Structure 1
Amino acid sequence: MATSQSLERTPWWRLPIIAVGVSLIVGVVLLAFSWPAVTADPRDLPIGIVGSAEQIEQVSEAIDEQSEGAIALTEYDDRDAAVTAIEHREVYGAVVLPAEQTQSPEVLTASAASPAVAQMLQGIATGLQQQIDAQIHATIEESLAQLQQTVADKIQAAVQAALSGQAPQAPAPEASAPLTIPTVTVEVTDLVPLAGGDPRGTGLTAAMFPMVLGGILGGVILTLTVKGGGLRRVVGVLIYAPVAGVVLAGILQGLYGALQGGYWLNAAAIALAIAAISSTITGLAGLIGPAGVGVGAAFTMLVANPLSATAVPVEFIPAPWGAFGQWLPPGAAATLLRNLSYFPGADSSFQWALLGIWAAAGLALTLVDIPARRLAAGQTEAEHPLTL
């Protein structure tokens, strides 16, 4: 007679299927998290430039050769216009070329926008300095050659005068004037530096994960534990998101200093992001049943989060996935929090509106609750195995 223990044993033929399936899942997870970083290759990074047409043409060729197509230059009339563009996150930085050759060029950066791009601009500044030093060296060599030729001509004239019995002429005073060597140093100005408590920007990057995880956990737990219809889950999300926003903002800003700017504004942004993520999961559950919990959580963690451009600029992620990620809640939230912390002048209306749309759509689907309606209509799980 078979015992209960023998009945619960997994058949041998299922073991390789389970092992292979788990391996494939692990591979998908690894691919999802590593792909954006491994394939990161900057393309068309918007960088400003100020100068004359001749200067811009000359420097553009050098920058294109140095960056290999990673930078797309945008011309501005003056330094003030370039500064405004940086503060509004229209460009990551700018190269300001002087009107006079004896004046120093300036490279404007914003490490708070992206430490990686700021480092790239530092390399451009180094390349400009080498180019200027080479031009100064060539100018000095040319001046020395002219001076040597002038001295040689004077000596030759004096010798010929002496041979002809004439008195040699005294050299002109300017011929003995000292040779001046100009000093031109490329200046690098960080217009929007990272906070002193987060000099490398790791805190702001790390802040995104608990927010995304909080949104996923909220959606999963509310879906699995709150019974009695979609309205109760909607109320649960509306209570959970603001409380979680206040708590996370208190830890990330008050304790760690990862966020800057106004505390309540950051708390509101986090709350809206958590509502958008949580309601997406509860909404999918309201649309297709329990399977929606897994679909929503997997999509958010394995697709939306890696494409959020939290650690690297959007231009580092292969097109069109970088732009696509900005239409998802984690990407919109990452951009919004960075703007609120360091770029208050930037237009964040798109991010606020997008998160609000995601939250509203998710709550609407949660309220519809199609599985509950089917149960109320007397339909069975056998009729809808994936949605009941």
Structure 2
Amino acid sequence: MSNAITTPAVTPWHATIRTAVLASVAVLIVLLAFLWPSYTSKVKDLPIVVAGPTAATAQLTQALSATGAFEITAGTDRAAAVTAIEKREAYGAIVTGRTGIEVLTASAASPVAAQALTGVSQKLAAQAAEQAKASGQAAPAVTTTDIVPFGEKDPRGSNLAVAGLPLAMGGMLGGVLVSLLVTGHKRRLGAVAAYAVVGGLALAAVLGPWLHVLTGSYLGAAAIIGSALFATAALIVGLHGLIGQPGIAIGAVITLFLGNPLSGMSLPKEFLPWHWGEIGQFFVPGASGTLLRLESYFPNASMTHGWLVLAAWSLVGVAMLWFGPRRDDEGMRHEHPSAAQVTA
């Protein structure tokens, strides 16, 4: 009997270099995926309302439209402008009246948009002061009011924006673990559903009652988070059942490198180039992030689109899991052993 020790084959240099190059390309793609949206974004097409008498708002509307930064809708009065903001039809408003000008912002909709409107308020105040100095009359008052602010524990909304990435990674992690550790399509579906329920309740407790990042209903937030976890995990598990191990990588790319950067959690979707902001709302991170924002701060806004997006991704994932050709590859071997295994 030979006691010789087999030495593992050494990786050839060309394969080593190829691996290093592929790893470098991968990290470059990751960097671009996360930096590109913010780097190429600019203040443009921001929906706002300009309300007040036509004679008083015509010149203001023309001046704001010329900048290309705003998409303006005419409003009748302050109440109409507030309603548009609360329904997420506008990020803010400029209301003119006899006593002066009031700029309405909604920092909970987007701190960046609120900052842009605050800049407009400051310019209007400076112009009013110059005109008053030239005419010798008192300058009209220019005030700024935050209609929908963030909660006291997260006044700048930074925690809500940061929460988007862990939620996306959470759904992806659950899908990967279920794909690798659970066999049989029924058991995988059960594991994904259980993960969504437990994870939704746990993450909502952290973001809500514990850290107060979310200020709305705890159960409402848990339902949104759980649905997002289910949609992402089901997609990855379904792709794994459809095409095997490459499906995990494809699911990660869809979720982390496409959906998350385009989600609009940090920037208004209107600021992204081309139509990428709108496209991002058809991915799970964009839909779930918008739903969480609406549930916490804009209860009067419609949530139909977000729920439909989560439902669609969930159905696609479940369909691939249920009918995929690899749905029970491992499970069948464990649950129905071959004749040789039985007689062994």
Assess same fold via TM > 0.5: yes
Report if the CA contact (8 A) 2:45-2:271 is conserved: no
After superposition, residues 187-336 of structure 1 pair within 5 angstroms as: 187-227=143-183, 229-336=184-291
Percent identical pairs in the alignment equals 42
Distance in 2 separating the partners of 1:353 and 1:64: 33
Distance in 2 separating the partners of 1:303 and 1:272: 19
* Aligned CA-pair RMSD: 2.0
2:113 equivalent in structure 1: 117
2:308 equivalent in structure 1: 353
Matched, 1:35 2:31: no
1:4 equivalent in structure 2: 6
Say which SS state the counterpart of residue 47 (structure 2) adopts. Answer: strand
Report if the CA contact (8 A) 1:63-1:124 is conserved: no
Amino acid at match of 1:252: L
Distance in 2 separating the partners of 1:115 and 1:376: 49
Q: Structure 1 residue 15: deviation in Å?
A: 2.1
Q: Are residues 376 and 109 of structure 1, via their aligned partners in 2, closer, same or farther at CA, if it must alter by over 3 Å?
A: closer
Q: Structure 1 residue 350: deviation in Å?
A: 1.4
Q: Are residues 117 and 223 of structure 1, via their aligned partners in 2, closer, same or farther at CA, if it must alter by over 3 Å?
A: same
1:153 equivalent in structure 2: none
Structure 1 segments, 4+ long, off by >6 Å, are 373-378
Report if the CA contact (8 A) 2:65-2:72 is conserved: no
Of the structure 1 ranges 214-223 and 36-45, higher mean CA displacement relative to structure 2 is found in: 36-45
Report if the CA contact (8 A) 1:230-1:369 is conserved: no
Distance in 2 separating the partners of 1:376 and 1:201: 45
Distance in 2 separating the partners of 1:251 and 1:364: 32
Distance in 2 separating the partners of 1:87 and 1:69: 24
1:26 equivalent in structure 2: 27
| Structure 1: tracts of 5 or more residues without a match | 141-180, 379-388
After superposition, residues 43-58 of structure 1 pair within 5 angstroms as: 43-58=44-59
Report if the CA contact (8 A) 2:128-2:139 is conserved: no
Distance in 2 separating the partners of 1:19 and 1:376: 36
Say which SS state the counterpart of residue 19 (structure 1) adopts. Answer: helix
Structure 2 counterpart of 1:106, from 61, 83, 102: 102
Query: Which digits, 9 at most, give the CA deviation of each residue in 1:61-102, with x for residues without a partner?
Result: 33245xx3111111011111110000000000000011x3xx
| Structure 2: tracts of 5 or more residues without a match | 334-344
Distance in 2 separating the partners of 1:264 and 1:299: 28
1:160 equivalent in structure 2: none
Q: Are residues 226 and 377 of structure 1, via their aligned partners in 2, closer, same or farther at CA, if it must alter by over 3 Å?
A: closer
Say which SS state the counterpart of residue 234 (structure 2) adopts. Answer: helix
The number of residues matched between the two structures is 331
Q: Structure 1 residue 8: deviation in Å?
A: 2.5
Report if the CA contact (8 A) 2:321-2:327 is conserved: no
Amino acid at match of 2:33: A
Q: Structure 1 residue 376: deviation in Å?
A: 10
Distance in 2 separating the partners of 1:298 and 1:220: 13
Q: Structure 1 residue 377: deviation in Å?
A: 11
Distance in 2 separating the partners of 1:15 and 1:284: 29
After superposition, residues 116-195 of structure 1 pair within 5 angstroms as: 116-140=112-136, 181-195=137-151
2:18 equivalent in structure 1: 17
Report if the CA contact (8 A) 2:263-2:280 is conserved: yes
Q: Are residues 280 and 79 of structure 1, via their aligned partners in 2, closer, same or farther at CA, if it must alter by over 3 Å?
A: same
Report if the CA contact (8 A) 1:42-1:316 is conserved: yes
Q: Structure 1 residue 57: deviation in Å?
A: 2.2
Q: Structure 1 residue 349: deviation in Å?
A: 1.5
Q: Are residues 22 and 376 of structure 1, via their aligned partners in 2, closer, same or farther at CA, if it must alter by over 3 Å?
A: closer
Q: Are residues 37 and 4 of structure 1, via their aligned partners in 2, closer, same or farther at CA, if it must alter by over 3 Å?
A: farther
Report if the CA contact (8 A) 1:203-1:256 is conserved: no
Of the structure 1 ranges 316-325 and 215-224, higher mean CA displacement relative to structure 2 is found in: 316-325
Say which SS state the counterpart of residue 88 (structure 2) adopts. Answer: coil
1:92 equivalent in structure 2: 91
Report if the CA contact (8 A) 1:96-1:106 is conserved: yes
Amino acid at match of 1:50: A
Of the structure 1 ranges 362-371 and 244-253, higher mean CA displacement relative to structure 2 is found in: 362-371
Distance in 2 separating the partners of 1:366 and 1:125: 53
Q: Structure 1 residue 52: deviation in Å?
A: 2.6
